[in-house]
Amino acid sequence: MDDPTATDGGTGGMPRWVKAFVVVGLVLGLAVLVATFAGGEHGPGRHQGHGPGVAPPAAAR
Amino acid sequence: MILPPAIRKAALVAHVVSSVGWLGTVVVFLVLAVAGVTSDDEPTVRAAYLATDLAATYAVVPFAFAAVATGLVQSLGTHWGLVRHYWVVVKLVVSIAALAVLLLQLDSIRLLGAAAARGPLAPGDLATARASLVLHAAGGVVVLLVPTVLSVYRPRGLTRYGRRPAAA
């Protein structure tokens, strides 16, 4: 990380690879939002009390 | 503030070690999470979730914080800067996002660790949390490869801030 000039070069706008990252990030973010609000099975604290396949630990039965 | 060369080297070593450590511990975490879902051997399943809890608490999370912190030092303490180069910005955003997801997963990890500590886990117990661990750990491995690749290739591209004259 000692030679920033080695990759200095972009003088135009946002490079294509950055745009690709932004698009992928937006798609992933949208997918998480859809999973959270539509499916209800995504996000912290949503694994504990409901949903298919969720059951109390065997020891608690 | 640009760090002196000797400190810069030491900071770089710390950043490489913590970043690679983060990726490595998530790989081990993924192996344990997959064993927890696929193994038919009950003691193995319990051991897997006890181990994921310990690994997350004492290895993955510390490495993650260390990687982000040392990355900030590397950016701010060298000519690269924090927002001058797109690859640095993308790396920072991806790392912070990965750290956030990790912290959000801790509830599930602790839940499974506590359940495993209490007693046997049947194949269907806490199935969503168990699947979530596998999914997020696998995603984490893929996502953490991004900063690694960016650090090596350092693709071109200056941000608007980076294109400004140094005196500005």
Per-residue pLDDT reduced to its tens digit, A18-45: 999 999 999 999 998 898 887 665 665 5
Cβ-contact B131, B124 below 8 angstroms: no
Hey, what amino acid is at A55? Answer: A
User: Could you tell me how many residues make up chain B?
Assistant: 168
Dihedral, CA atoms, A34, A38, A40, A41, nearest 10 degrees?
Answer: -50
Q: With an 8 Å Cβ cutoff, are A7 and B154 in contact?
A: yes
Query: Tell me, what's the pLDDT at A50?
Result: 41
Q: Which residues of chain B have pLDDT under 70?
A: 166-168
Q: How far apart are CA A38 and CA B113, in angstroms?
A: 29
CA nearest to B130, candidates B27, B37, B46, B31: B37
ipTM comes to 0.77
Strand partners, B158: B85
**Tokens 């499974």, located at residue:** B112
Query: Tell me, what's the pLDDT at B122?
Result: 86
Q: What is the DSSP string of B101-154?
A: HHHHHHHHHHHHHHHHHHS---TTTTHHHHHHHHHHHHHHHHHHHHHHHHHHH-
Chain B residues near residue A1 by CB distance under 8 angstroms: 8, 12, 74, 78, 80, 151
Answer with the residue of higher pLDDT: A13 or B33.
Answer: B33
Instruction: Identify the H or E element spanning B18.
Output: helix B5-38
Chain B residue closest to A42 (CA)? Answer: B132
Q: How far apart are CA B12 and CA B8, in angstroms?
A: 6
Q: With an 8 Å Cβ cutoff, are B156 and A15 in contact?
A: yes
- Is residue A5 over pLDDT 80? no
Instruction: Identify the H or E element spanning B86.
Output: helix B86-118
Answer with the residue of higher pLDDT: B62 or A48.
Answer: B62
The verdict on B19 touching A (C-beta cutoff 8 Å) is no
Chain B residues near residue A27 by CB distance under 8 angstroms: none
Query: Tell me, what's the pLDDT at A56?
Result: 43
In this complex, the residue of A17, A43, A57 whose CB is nearest that of residue B155 is: A17
pTM: 0.83
Q: With an 8 Å Cβ cutoff, are B87 and A45 in contact?
A: no
Query: Tell me, what's the pLDDT at A41?
Result: 59
The verdict on B155 touching A (C-beta cutoff 8 Å) is yes
Percent of chain A past pLDDT 90, that is, above it, reads 26
